Structure 1
Amino acid sequence: MTSDLSTLTSAADRWDGMAKEFHKQEVAYKRDVHGISMGETWTGLSADAANRRFDITLKEFQKAQVEAKAVASLIRDAHTQFTSLRGKLDSARQDAVEAGMKVSDQGLVSFDTQKLSQAEHTAWVHDPDYQDSVRKSVSSWQQLIDQRVKDVGDADKDVQTALRAVVVDGDPLDGTVTGFNGQAQGDIDKYADQKPVHTKTDGWVADGEVKLTGPGVGFSASTDPKYGKEGSVKAYADLFHATAQGTLTNGDWKLAGIADGYGGARATANYGFNNKGVVGKAEASAGLRALIEGRAEYGPYAGVYGRADGFAGAEAGVNVKATKDELTVGAKAFAGAKGGVAGGGEVAGIGFGATAEGWAGPGAEAWWGYKRDDDGEFHLGGKAGASPVLGGSLGFEITVDPDKLSETVGDAADAVGDAVDSVGDGIGSVKDSVTHWF
């Protein structure tokens, strides 16, 4: 009853202003970033890939405007509803007072005996029928006040539901999962029947994204004679490539999952001989691939993972690499279908995993080596398999994450230090007590 509802209209004005700022950013992004991939000065694989990403971002700027305007409209709708409902509640209270009732600040209705004349007071004390009519009147006015309060509460919940739902990305195929809502609506009634959308459940925070590209074709070739002999060739014909990934985090706990599917044909070849080392690789494949993986981690201390993948088609490749961060060698050739599973665990940054595949079709594969990935994690492993017609492969991998290892050691050292401090404090307390006795 005492809330300043004008702050809602002020907030709505700010949201409209936000939409205008997003429009300015859209214009600038379309001109200075998105437009780069649309001209004739940048072509090839990188330009196509960039253009798809730039399209997603440009659409997000446009959807942000839709969402901001919808939020502004919802807030104005809330202001209108709250103003009307509060007016009805205030009017009901005033009518009750004029009918001889008292209404407390908490909405409790009672009979106002101070306004009674001498005759009415005598009837109130001695006339059972009068007393009964008063009780019925108090009950009737209480029900009206309660209903008016409930109407405000229901409207508040509808506004809450609408504000939670309006920011949910409603298009799972737009390249994002938690992006802006391009289908946002500015009418509370459109969302009133929906259940509240929660981004957190019992402390868990969700995040994720979906990417879908294709079809597309491309070819690129390059050489760089500046720093030794380097060159690469790449050609592709993609039917589709879809990836969905997400995480759930709650304190030190983290659950992560990814699903990936690809269909098409690719061929790559590159070589390098420079101050970084020696690199040579050639690979070609055509067919369908699918992968699904799940991980569960508790801080840097422990984690487990499981993975399943499948392939149907043909592939062949050979590679050798010798640099300061990697030493690997391998070769493979296969035609048919295969499926595999993998699993492993990690404790204090040190992990071990194993893979097993079943093959239907002729082929052979072997590789061994170690490498350091972009995250600074070291991998040591190998894999071997063969199949005249039916067969399979086995592999293993050992990983070391220096950051997790050092963090775990640091936490252990802190724990030991805290324990030593606690013992020292205890000894000091005993000393003080004994000294006090004497």
Structure 2
Amino acid sequence: MTADLSPLMNASELWQKMGKRFAELKGDYEKNVQRALANGKWQGQSFNAHQSSSAATASEYAAAKTEALAVASLLKQAHTELTRLQKAVKDLVADAEAKDYKVDGSGRATYVGFSRLSAQQQNALQHDPDFPKLMAQAQQAAQEWTDGIAKAVRAVDEADQGVQRALSNAVAFGNGFNAHAEGDLGKASAPWSHHSTSPTRVDSKVKATGPDIGFTVTGDPKYGKEASVKAYADLYHVTAEVSESHGPMKLSGIVDDYQGARATANLGFSDKGGTVKAEASVGHRTTVEGRAELGQTGGYTRAEGFSGVEGSLSAKATKEEATFGWKRFAGNKGTIAGGIEVGGIGIGATAEGWTGVGDEAWWGLKKDEKTGTWKVGGKAGASPGVGGALGFEITVDLHKVTKAAGNAADALGDAVDAVGDAAGSAKKAVSSWF
């Protein structure tokens, strides 16, 4: 009844300006970066890599413009719709009060016309044979007003939830801006289903390299920089990724196939911690992984095959990682892994079958630099000829946990409010009979 909806229009205007600004930035970027560097004076692999990444940047500018303008449109339509529905509630209350019905803060109507009569009029009415019938009709009409007001309030609440869904769908789109953001409130606010009008977006990319040989040395532990030595001889390395988003649901998969030989060594000690690591492998490795996410719930499965020789020894203690492990193996491995995540907390398990000779153990806590997710886990296994390994991991995405906690707090607050309103209505209903 008293909500000020004008900030919706203010926000809409700001998002509109943002969308226009992104359009200007896209034009500036294409003119002063893409075309300026594509004048033929720069050639080679670095130029080709830049062209690919710059195309992605320009695409994100365009997607950011689409998303911002969609949000601006949704906010403007939300202001119009919520204002209309709020006015409908106010008008209904005003009509009820004009007909001698008082409406309390919870929307319950009570007939007060009898109390407004003079004592003489009340006395005469009470002696009227039709008085009980008239009071029963008044109580029935009061309930009809109460039901009508409740229905009008529900319409506001449903529209409000629809706006929330529309805004969430417009901006929740993987790791980039939403180039397919829907600006029509009627379409974007519909609950998601397999028949939803929400756009489906499919992204895919394939990367292939090899044959290739390389050797690099970087850093200097004497000056606090981690020293790194890397040598590799790749026969080939192919990676294919695909993802599909539809409303709040996202499916993704990756296939990675590699054959070759690699060896790396890292050594460093500084104020951030210490690292000692050496690993080498020769052979063929194939990994297939699939993921599914729906809101804040998700799951993954992974299968991996390895044939060759590998070994490693590592120990790391920094602000973002504390791990220790070793591995040595010669033969064939088959790995199956899977896990689930709810509200930013995930649990996963790994099982491996080995035909060959080796042993392995790993334990630690570390943070994924790309996603910011913390992981604690362990793995152990051995094989004198035929054997295997078992492992587990627990992941915590602090951003998702915070978001889930906020949603839970909102839901709890709504539930408490609903219980309070129901208790207040019940108390008033009982009081009205005495």
CA distance in 2, matches of 1:230, 1:56: 31
Classify 1:225/1:330 alpha carbon distance in 2 versus 1 (closer, same or farther; 3 Å): closer
SS at match of 2:401: helix
CA contact (8 A) 1:204 1:248 kept: no
SS at match of 2:372: coil
Aligned counterpart for 1:255 among listed residues 245, 251, 255: 251
TM-score, normalised on structure 1? 0.55
CA contact (8 A) 1:368 1:382 kept: yes
Post-superposition offset of 1:341: 0.3
Letter in 2 for 1:29: L
Hey, what does 2:37 align to over in structure 1? 29
Post-superposition offset of 1:201: 8.0
Q: Over the residues paired in the alignment, what is the CA RMSD in angstroms? A: 3.5
Post-superposition offset of 1:248: 2.4
CA distance in 2, matches of 1:329, 1:404: 28
Classify 1:283/1:392 alpha carbon distance in 2 versus 1 (closer, same or farther; 3 Å): same
Which range is displaced more, 200-209 or 388-397?
Answer: 200-209
Classify 1:211/1:224 alpha carbon distance in 2 versus 1 (closer, same or farther; 3 Å): farther
Classify 1:372/1:59 alpha carbon distance in 2 versus 1 (closer, same or farther; 3 Å): closer
1:331 aligns with 2:326: yes
CA contact (8 A) 2:345 2:395 kept: yes
SS at match of 2:419: helix
CA distance in 2, matches of 1:244, 1:214: 12
CA distance in 1, matches of 2:221, 2:364: 28
Letter in 1 for 2:354: W
Hey, what does 1:373 align to over in structure 2? 368
- 1:255-300 Cα deviation digits (max 9, x unpaired): 2211111122211111110001010111111222111111222222
CA distance in 1, matches of 2:338, 2:243: 19
SS at match of 2:38: helix
CA distance in 1, matches of 2:56, 2:30: 10
Q: Which has the larger radius of gyration?
A: 1
1:425 aligns with 2:421: yes
Classify 1:299/1:386 alpha carbon distance in 2 versus 1 (closer, same or farther; 3 Å): same
SS at match of 2:387: strand
* Unmatched runs of 5 consecutive residues or more in structure 1: 1-17, 39-47, 62-199
Hey, what does 1:281 align to over in structure 2? 277
SS at match of 1:418: helix
Letter in 2 for 1:321: K
CA distance in 2, matches of 1:262, 1:59: 28
- 1:70-123 Cα deviation digits (max 9, x unpaired): xxxxxxxxxxxxxxxxxxxxxxxxxxxxxxxxxxxxxxxxxxxxxxxxxxxxxx
CA distance in 2, matches of 1:317, 1:361: 17
CA distance in 2, matches of 1:323, 1:280: 11
* Unmatched runs of 5 consecutive residues or more in structure 2: 1-25, 58-194
Hey, what does 2:400 align to over in structure 1? 404
CA distance in 2, matches of 1:344, 1:59: 35
The count of corresponding residues between Structure 1 and Structure 2 is: 274
CA contact (8 A) 1:206 1:246 kept: no
Post-superposition offset of 1:391: 1.8
Hey, what does 1:220 align to over in structure 2? 216
CA distance in 2, matches of 1:321, 1:420: 48
Letter in 2 for 1:335: A
1:391 aligns with 2:398: no
Equivalent residues in 2 for 1:5-404 (5 A)? Answer: 26-30=34-38, 35=42, 38=44, 50=46, 53-54=49-50, 56-57=52-53, 203=198, 205-215=200-210, 216-224=212-220, 227-228=223-224, 230-300=226-296, 302-374=297-369, 375-404=371-400
- 1:406-431 Cα deviation digits (max 9, x unpaired): 22221111011111222333344456
- 1:32-80 Cα deviation digits (max 9, x unpaired): 9x93x84xxxxxxxxx6x566336458989xxxxxxxxxxxxxxxxxxx
Classify 1:308/1:202 alpha carbon distance in 2 versus 1 (closer, same or farther; 3 Å): farther
CA distance in 2, matches of 1:356, 1:330: 18
Classify 1:279/1:415 alpha carbon distance in 2 versus 1 (closer, same or farther; 3 Å): same
SS at match of 1:423: helix
CA contact (8 A) 2:221 2:269 kept: no
CA distance in 1, matches of 2:380, 2:412: 44
Classify 1:26/1:204 alpha carbon distance in 2 versus 1 (closer, same or farther; 3 Å): closer
SS at match of 1:376: coil
CA contact (8 A) 2:201 2:246 kept: no
Classify 1:249/1:24 alpha carbon distance in 2 versus 1 (closer, same or farther; 3 Å): same
SS at match of 1:409: helix
- 1:206-225 Cα deviation digits (max 9, x unpaired): 33232323212222111245
Post-superposition offset of 1:23: 8.5
Post-superposition offset of 1:433: 5.8
CA distance in 2, matches of 1:59, 1:298: 29
Post-superposition offset of 1:401: 1.8
Post-superposition offset of 1:231: 0.8
